[in-house]
Amino acid sequence: MTQRLRHKTALVTGAASGIGRQSAIRMAEEGALVCITDIDDEGLAGTLALLAGRGFSLHHDVTDEDSWHSAIAAVLERFGKLQILVNCAGIGVRNDNIVALEEEGWDRLMAVNLHGTFMGCQQAITCMKQAGGGSLINISSVLGIRGSADALSYCASKGAVRLLTKSIAVHCGRQGYNIRCNAICPGYIATPLGLSVRESLGDEEFQRLVDKHVVGRMGIADDVAGMVVYLASDESSFVTGTEMVVDGGYTAG
Amino acid sequence: MSSDQSVRTSGAGNRCDGKRALVTGGASGIGAATARLLAGEGARVMLADVDEAGAARIADGIGKAASSTFLDVCRADSWSAAVASTVARLGGWDVLVNCAGILRRGTIETTTMATWHEVLDVNLRGTWLGAREAVRHMQGTGGVIVNLSSVAGIVGDQDLCAYDASKGGVRLLTKAITDHATRHGLGIRCNSIHPGVIETPMVANYIAESDDPVAERALWDSYMPPGVTGHADDVGHLIVFLVSDESRLIDGAELVIDGGGTVE
């Protein structure tokens, strides 16, 4: 294995499963030291076992500002610096359409997907400035580009993350911080979150969504993790403010 | 009722005859201009705003076709009351124009949690609450929803971190609504509008409150092509078109109205 992230340190949220877990594994394989966080302690333990000792785990609620302070302090204590933040923590909610969704669901989803991403970027920038630079990676979605009736608040949150990312990229670039900020827009990925869509929508509607990927299948977490590694590495040093679409052609057709 | 010529107070058109429109942020700027232009094209309008007196003044200026009501877009109960008032005064409800919005300075580093939530609550959550009311009400009869996003929902601005996020959210919220409405055959169209710099009180106040208003003015001017100035009526005319049946095939679209400012 190459060492594209040698000497780099990372924090990955939502790392107990799916894209977060696979991103942490791939970054550790590429030589990074990785702090993995989630509210799912059991899942986190499973991910940690796959990191070959190249990191540590932390119970971390991304919706809580103090929890962010603690997580970043722990990274600084263990690794001495923070250079990569991957905001993978994300949720969907039931009845997520314009008629049925109630405030509780909207607010819960926004707290994780949007407000959590905002707080993470804000606090990480402070550390990355001291480290001489860094890479912020936010997980948006093809649903931050295309609309979906049954993902109303999800679409809104991912559209917001997409533009939050650009605002951050412009700011950090203009300030000369050497901090890049990019969004990744995955298609439907076979993760616990992605597969929960089948449960809520039923097989027929789910298959219709899968068929929108022109390659004829859902993605796997590793498809996205490869992009995370690229954006985390110095190979992407001229890449900032983008939305990297990893969607099997979902938005192509 | 709405085709009654006596309620017509300005303009001579009839492109929105019979439409009954609730316009949020109606006390100023794009909301006020839109309400006036809609009324001029034959619509009956309810101007809603947290600035109740301001909305009432604009409604008075428009004439009999216009009414006004208090509305705090952040609160679901306030929406319920405003919708009830709209239905009672206008005899029904066909059109929602979500103009209410706020602009706050702040980069990713300087935006406080309070400011973040303030902007997201009004601009994104408020737009959602309104659209939800509209779809629930109009799903039997059809209608039109127009959401005000911004060019800030397309390109990033370092000083408008929360605003950018909110408008990016509105842009995709709009598409999710359209997907729902079209797949269920509700006859409700929903589009987002993306204005560039429009000379409204919102923008004027933002510039006036900056540390260096002259430099800030120059910065905002630089967002538009040389010599191009955006006025609330420019956006209002586009909204009239989107409300009218002329735009019946325009749905889930993002309409940029910025004088070409985001082309380069």
Q: B85-95, pLDDT tens digit by residue?
A: 999 999 999 99
Contact status, residue A143 vs residue A158, Cβ threshold 8 Å = yes
Q: Which of B163, B181, B191, B235 is catalytic?
A: B163
- Which residues does chain B have within 8 Å of residue A150's beta carbon, measured at their own beta carbons? 180
**Whole-angstrom distance, CA of residue A10 vs CA of residue A136:** 10
- Which residue of A110, A117, A163 to mutate against B (max B Cβ within 10 Å)? A163
Least confident of A108-112, B11-15, B34-38: B11-15
Secondary structure of chain B in HEC code, one letter for each residue: CCCCHHHCCCCCCCCCCCCEEEEECCCCHHHHHHHHHHHHCCCEEEEEECCHHHHHHHHHHHCCCEEEEECCCCCHHHHHHHHHHHHHHHCCCCEEEECCCCCCCECCCCCCHHHHHHHHHHHHHHHHHHHHHHHHHHCCCCEEEEEECCHHHCCCCCCEHHHHHHHHHHHHHHHHHHHHHHHCCCCEEEEEEEECCECCHHHHHHHHCCCCHHHHHHHHHHCCCCCCCECHHHHHHHHHHHHCHHHCCCCCCEEEECCCCCCC
In sequence order, the 6+-apart residues with CB closer than 8 A to the CB of B28 are B49, B51, B54, B58, B200, B201, B202
Average pLDDT of span B250-256: 98
Predicted pLDDT at A253: 87
Other beta carbons less than 10 A from residue A239's beta carbon: 14
Residue B207 has pLDDT above 80, yes or no: yes
Q: Specify the pTM.
A: 0.95
The answer to whether A212 contacts chain B (CB < 8 Å) is no
Determine the Cα–Cα distance for residues A120 and A72; give it in Å rounded to an integer: 9
Distance between B135 CA and the closest CA of chain A, angstroms: 7
Residue B185 sits at φ, ψ, to 5 deg, of: 60, 40
pLDDT at res. B9: 47
pLDDT lower than 70: segments of chain A: 1
Interface contact A164-B164, CB threshold 8 A: yes
Q: Is the Cβ pair A148, B167 closer than 8 Å? A: no
Kindly state whether B118 is in contact with chain A, defined as any CB-CB distance less than 8 angstroms.
Answer: no
Span A24-80, pLDDT tens digits:
999 999 999 999 999 999 999 999 999 999 999 999 999 999 999 999 999 999 999
Active site annotation includes B163: yes
B136, B155, B176 member nearest A151 (Cβ): B176
pLDDT of residue B1: 36
Show me where the domains of chain B are located.
15-257
Q: What residues does A182 pair with on adjacent strands?
A: A137
| pLDDT given for residue A2 in this prediction | 83
Q: Does the beta carbon of B112 lie under 8 angstroms from any beta carbon of chain A?
A: no
Query: B2 pLDDT exceeds 90?
Result: no
pLDDT of B206 over the 90 cut: yes
Confidence at residue A1, expressed as pLDDT on a 0 to 100 scale = 60
pLDDT of B5 reads 39
Q: What domains, with CATH codes, occur in chain A?
A: 9-188+220-246 (3.40.50.720)
Rg (CA), chain A: 17
Architecture, CATH, for domain B15-257: 3-Layer(aba) Sandwich (3.40)
Across the range B167-172, mean pLDDT stands at: 98
Taking residues B17-28, what's their average pLDDT?
98
Within an 8 Å CB–CB cutoff, is residue A31 touching chain B?
no
Looking at every residue in chain B, the average pLDDT score rounds to: 95
Residue B10 has pLDDT above 80, yes or no: no
